[in-house]
């Protein structure tokens, strides 16, 4: 099992450009999450999907959109990137009756 995979690993964008971060899990988990990690601030939840077909805002959703494409895939879209969105983005998933979240390796995004 690959677990949680994320693409790309690194990305540099110019202000105003758009992009989609991809996440997939092969553990048959119901729930998936997107976090951003900034120095000294820990991880903050952007959006989550409790189950296929549902998505909800987390703590810092502004400037982002998500799509739960199917049970395996959960993508994060930046429509018009801003320098404040420079961060490391992590995708995670968790299964029914499991309180552990499994994390992907992260995407390091720089917006200039």
Partner 1 sequence: AQSVTQLDSQVPVFEEAPVELRCNYSSSVSVYLFWYVQYPNQGLQLLLKYLSGSTLVKGINGFEAEFNKSQTSFHLRKPSVHISDTAEYFCAVRNAGGTSYGKLTFGQGTILTVHP
Kindly list the residues in this chain that would bind partner 1 in the complex (CB under 8 A): 4, 30-31, 33, 40-45, 48, 50-51, 58, 90, 92, 94-101, 103-106
SS (H, E, C) the chain: CCCEEEECCEEEECCCCCEEEEEEECCCCCEEEEEEECCCCCEEEEEEECCCCCCEECCCCCCEEEEECCCCEEEEEECCCCHHHCEEEEEEEECCCCCCCEECCCEEEEEC
Q: Count Cβ atoms below 10 Å from residue 28 Cβ, excluding itself.
A: 11
Cβ distance to partner 1 smaller for residue 14 or 99: 99
Q: Cβ closer to partner 1: 59 or 79?
A: 59
- The least CB distance from residue 76 to partner 1, in Å, is 15
Residue nearer to partner 1 on the CB measure, 85 or 101: 101
Least separation in angstroms between CB 46 and partner 1:
11
* Nearer to partner 1 among residue 66 and residue 104 (C-beta): 104
- In the complex, the smallest distance separating the C-beta of residue 22 from partner 1, rounded to whole angstroms, is 15
């Amino acid at each position: 099992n690959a677990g949680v995979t994320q693409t790309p690993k690194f990305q540099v964008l110019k202000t105003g450009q758009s992009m989609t971060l991809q996440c997939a899990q092969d553990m048959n988990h119901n729930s998936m999450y997107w976090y951003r990690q900034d120095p000294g601030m820990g991880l903050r939840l952007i959006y989550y999907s409790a189950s296929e077909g549902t998505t909800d805002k987390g703590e810092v959703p502004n400037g982002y959109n998500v799509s739960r494409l199917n049970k395996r895939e959960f993508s994060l879209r930046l429509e018009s990137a801003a320098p404040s969105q420079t961060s490391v983005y992590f995708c995670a998933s968790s299964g029914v009756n499991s309180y552990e979240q499994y994390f992907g390796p992260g995407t390091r995004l720089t917006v200039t």
